[in-house]
Amino acid sequence: MGLSGFPHEKALSALPVEVGSVQWYPSPDSIPSVTDPRFIIYDEPQDTLFWMLDALRDGHLVGVAEGGPDEMLGLVRDVAVSDSLVYYLDGSYSHVRAYTLEGHLVDIIGGPGAGPGEFGMFPKLSVTGTGNNVHVVVGSGQYTVSVFSKSMDGKHVFQTSFRASVELPNGEMCAMDGHVYTTGDSEDHEGVIHKHTLDGKYVSSFGVGSNHPDYMVRERMAEGGSLACNEKHRILLYAQTSAPIATAFTESGEMIWRIRFGDARIVPILLLYNKQGDLVSAMHFPALDVGESEDIEIKGGARGDSFWLVRLEILPKEARNPWAQHFYKVDVLSGRGEYLGIRPVKTRTVARRVRVIDQGYLYTAQHDPYPQLGIHPIPDTTR
C-alpha cells in the first residue's frame, strides 16, 4: 500500500522521516482462524449492562480532594485483587497500596527508586495466593520483577527481586500458583509468554509470536496484547495485539481454546518504510475511524470462573461521549462466551472507568476532578 489515497497522508508528511510506503500488520490472512460458532462472539443488539450503572452508584470510593498523603491518590496505574484485599499501583507515588473491600487502608508497599523493593518506571502489578500465603508481584524498570509476601499481621515484606527474560515496559505481566508470566520478544526463548518462578528461575516460553522478518515488528507484536492469569483453574488468557483473537493456555503452555470477536473492527499496527524500503517505525496510528478499536483488553478473571474482556470503540462525533466500552464474559474452562453490552466511558452520572472485574466486584478509577479508586459490589444475579 503506497501513500496515494492513504487516509492520514497529511499526518505522515509531518513525520521527521520521509515515508515511501506503508503497510498494515498483521494482514487478514495471518490472523488465526476460528470457525466453531461456539467460540465466536458477536455484538448482539440487546444490552444487558443495566446492572453496571447500579453497581457503580454503590460501594466505596477511596481518595479525597484534599488530605494527608495516605488519603489522597495519585495516578492509578494498575489494580489487582486477592481473596480479601484490593491493591492498586500508584504511578505518582511509585508504591502499592492495599485496602480492604470496605476501602480501609491496610498497607503501603515499596516506594520510588532503583533498589530492592523499590519501583522505577513502567510499573505493573499482580497478586497470587490466598489467605496469608499471598504474594504481591511488581514489574518495573526494564527487566526487574519484585516480590513481596504478606505476613501474619497483614503487612507486606519484600522477599526478592529478579531480572525477567524480556523487557517489561511495553509488555504485560500476571502471576498465579507461585509463578510469574510476562510477554515480550526474546532472542533466547521462543514464544511470546515467558514463565518464571517467584524467586526468578526461568521455566519455559510458549505462545506463537509473529514471523515477520523485521525484529521491530516481532517485538511490537509480542509486547502488545493483554494477559491474565486465572489462579482458580490455572489457566492463562492472552488477547493478541491488533487482532480480534484471545487464546487460553494451561500453565504449562498448552493451548486449550481460542475465541474470536466477530464484530470487532481491530486496527492493525502501521508499518512505515523509507524510500529505500527499510522499516523505520511500527506504530498504532492514533487516528482511529468511527467504529474501530485498537485491541481487546482482559479486565479480570483472576479467581472466578469467567474472564471479563473489554473493547474500547470510538463513536461518531455527534455522540455525547466519544468513546464506549464493549463488555464480554468468557467461561474460563470451556471458552464459551457472551456479549454483555456497551456503555460510554463517561456519563453524566458516572465518570469512572472500569479497571478490573473480579470476585463479584467492579474496581474503577477516576482522575477528574481528583483521583479515586472505586470498589463496587456486583448484584448477585449478574455474577
Place of cell 496515494: 4
- pTM beyond cutoff 0.85: yes
Domain that includes residue 83, residue range: 9-382
- Domain containing residue 140: CATH number: 2.130.10
Domain presence at residue 1: no
Domain presence at residue 88: yes
Place of cell 479486565: 299
Closest CA to 206 of 183, 229, 227: 183
58-110 pLDDT per residue, tens: 899 999 999 988 899 998 999 999 988 999 999 899 999 999 999 999 999 99
**Strand bridging mode 118-119 / 111-112:** parallel
Question: And the C-alpha cell for 315?
Answer: 463513536
301-336 pLDDT per residue, tens: 988 999 999 999 888 877 677 788 899 999 999 999
Write out the H or E segment, with its range, that includes residue 54: helix 50-56
Domain presence at residue 153: yes
User: How much is the mean pLDDT over the chain?
Assistant: 88
Q: Which of 140-154, 205-219, 251-265 has the highest mean predicted lDDT (pLDDT)?
A: 251-265
Question: Domain count of the chain?
Answer: 1
DSSP one-letter string for 112-164 = ESSSTTEE-SS-EEEEEEETTEEEEEEEETTTEEEEEEE-TTS-EEEEEEEE-
Q: Is 211 helix (H, G, I), strand (E, B) or coil?
A: coil
Domain presence at residue 2: no
Residue 184 zone, left/alpha/beta (φ > 0; ψ -120 to 50; rest): left
Neighbours of 281 (CB within 10 A): 16
